[in-house]
């Protein structure tokens, strides 16, 4: 049975002490709620990661991740953080290709393919984000866009490496806008992604891949989204900054 994941993306929010306080609250509230094949993940700014990992010790269903990593192993890249550095803090995950990185930092599928390789080489599990813009949906090219993101970003991996990925479908028009894809719209794309994985790898690999929905997912809409057969959890933006909301989303699976 594939893993169910609720992952918080704190983005560029919370100073050091605020982050630790929120994470402590989240641990206390989530520790008895994430059960079975479920996992709760918090992807924080880099400055928090090491401390959050320390706080999460002993809680097997709570993990920590980063929101980005550099494609090179090391070198003269002032201000950047490598996958190896992230791994050395004890983090387990890294978000790659979030639409904000694609949009504001010019991250392309080719660059993200390199970032994915470097993250996997350093034993981090990428949460690989894909999704179409509003214009692409209106032009009815959303399936093509998503297929290209899959093919150019991650389908170069062999099946063994691919099995370590989590995929997050985040329609760009639903990010930070308060607009959510309907559960039918989200399910349609998740089913498409799973079929593409099956065609490229195998049905077994496709059935084992965790595919999250992201984009204004909150305690009110999570239950309907997560009830869809191909939606295995969420990548949560704003609602992950409130311990009660995040916990309520985690509880949706119970």
Residues found near ligand 3PY in the complex (CB under 6 A): 9, 98, 170, 175-176, 214-217, 235-237
- Comparison of 149 and 201: residue with beta carbon closer to ligand 3PY: 149
Residue 237 annotated in ligand binding = yes
Q: Given the complex with ligand 3PY, which of 118 and 218 has the nearer CB atom? A: 218
As given in the structure block, the two tokens for residue 190 are 């998740």
Q: Does the annotation flag 216 for ligand binding? A: yes
DSSP secondary structure letters along 65-110: EES---SSSSSS-TT---HHHHHHTT--EEEE--HHHHHHS---HH
Distance in Å, CB of 165 to ligand 3PY, minimum: 16
18 catalytic per annotation: no
Does the annotation flag 173 for ligand binding?
no
Q: Which is nearer to ligand 3PY, 41 or 86 (CB)?
A: 41
Q: Do the strands 166-169 and 125-130 form a parallel or antiparallel pair, or are they unpaired?
A: parallel
Count Cβ atoms below 10 Å from residue 115 Cβ, excluding itself. Answer: 23
- Which of the residues 98, 100, 107, 132 is marked catalytic? 98
9 is in an annotated binding site: yes
- As a whole number of angstroms, the distance between CA 169 and CA 171 comes to 6
48 is catalytic: no
Q: Quote the CA–CA distance of 73 and 170 in Å, as a whole number.
A: 28
The catalytic site residues sit at 98, 170
Binding residues for substrate: 9-11, 176, 216, 237-238
């Amino acid at each position: 049975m594939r893993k169910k994941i609720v992952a918080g993306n704190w983005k560029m929010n919370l100073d050091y002490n605020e982050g630790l306080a929120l994470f402590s609250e989240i641990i206390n509230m989530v520790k008895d709620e994430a059960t079975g094949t479920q996992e709760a993940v918090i992807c924080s700014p880099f400055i928090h990661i090491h401390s959050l990992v320390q706080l999460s010790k002993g809680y097997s269903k709570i993990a920590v991740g980063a929101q980005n990593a550099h494609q090179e192993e090391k070198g003269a890249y002032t201000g950047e953080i490598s996958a190896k550095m992230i791994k050395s803090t004890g983090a387990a995950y890294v978000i790659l290709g979030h639409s904000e990185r694609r949009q504001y930092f010019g991250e392309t599928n080719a660059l993200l393919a390199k970032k994915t390789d470097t993250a996997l080489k350093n034993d981090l599990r990428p949460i690989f984000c894909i999704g179409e813009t509003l214009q692409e949906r209106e032009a009815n090219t959303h399936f093509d866009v998503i297929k290209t993101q899959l093919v150019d970003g991650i389908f170069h991996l062999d099946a063994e490496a691919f099995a370590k990925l989590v995929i997050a479908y985040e329609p760009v028009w639903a990010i930070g806008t308060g607009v959510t894809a309907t559960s039918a719209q989200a399910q349609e794309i998740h089913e498409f992604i799973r079929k593409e994985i099956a065609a490229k790898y195998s049905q077994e690999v496709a059935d084992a891949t965790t595919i999250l929905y992201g984009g204004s997912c909150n305690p009110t809409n999570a239950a309907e989204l997560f009830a869809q057969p191909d939606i295995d959890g969420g990548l949560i933006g704003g609602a992950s900054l409130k311990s009660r909301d995040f916990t309520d989303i985690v509880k949706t699976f119970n």
